A = this chain, B = another copy of it.
Amino acid sequence: MTEAGNTPRMDADAFVARLRVEGEKRYHDRHPFHIAMHAGKLSREQIQAWVRNRFYYQTRIPIKDAVILSKSEDPAFRRLWMHRIVDHDGKVDGEGGLAQWLRLAHGVGLDVDAVKSLREVLPGVRFACDAYVTLVRERPLVEAVASSLTEFFSPDIMARRIVAWETHYPWVEAETLAYFRGRVTRAKEDSREAIDYVLAHATTLESQDRCIDALITKTQILWALLDALTTAHPLG
């Protein structure tokens, strides 16, 4: 591979460090709504609103992963990436991340059919999540993959979320937190696969910069989702 332009690309360590720094400082665990959630400050209605709206984000994941599949010319990459779709859709009805999320919706007292219908999703949440699918569709494959690297920060947030919810929201049935539990391990493996791909395929400084930009845009999407929730359900 040759470098485009005169500036050499970052070495792997420097590139990973940049991705981590830029992603971490914008990750949605710093959003006031998220801080309030983990501090036990959300009302039942706010928890319900988060679960209902975040489900729309969850439903976009297998769609954006199928778009990523469709952008690859490599059967080996497609084999690797495909499990993400299976992780969310399940191998049979009732399994997988989407079904687990609907059990969480039930666990927080929501009508599962209403959640599934997506009809009460806030417009701002919809726009933000749709922007994720658009990003993945319109950008080169390596940048689409880089946008998934928020998974770097996800195992930690999931582990903390389980403790926070069990402590502060005891009215939520503990076994309905299965989605969060499953993501602790899965997100670690997913982010390792994704970073390997990005390191191998972002072969110029320009491409590396665009990967960082894709990750930043992804953090903005997750942030905007919480902004929309905060506007509709203001914090006390």
Contacts and interface: CB of A to CB of B under 8 A. Distances in A.
A90 B76 CA distance: 9
Interface stretch (A78-86, A178-186, A200-208, A224-232): A78-86
A236 interface: no
Interface stretch (A47-55, A64-72, A148-156, A157-165): A64-72
Contacts of A64: 70
A96 interface: yes
Contacts of A91: 79
Contacts of A92: 79
Interface in A95-136: 96, 98-99
A143 interface: no
A217 B70 CA distance: 21
Contacts of A86: 82
Which applies to chain A's interface (DSSP): helix, strand, loop or mixed?
A: helix
Contacts of A88: 75
A196 interface: no
Counting chain A residues whose Cβ lies within 8 A of the other chain, the interface size class is: 20 to 34
A73 interface: yes
Contact of A78 (B66, B67, B70, B76): B66
B63 A75 contact: no
Contacts of A138: none
A70 B70 contact: yes
B79 A89 contact: yes
Contacts of A96: 75
Top 7 A-B pairs ranked by shortest CB distance? A66-B70, A66-B69, A75-B89, A67-B70, A78-B89, A66-B66, A63-B70
14 contacts: A59-B73, A62-B75, A62-B78, A64-B70, A66-B69, A67-B67, A69-B69, A69-B70, A70-B70, A75-B99, A78-B89, A79-B93, A82-B85, A82-B89
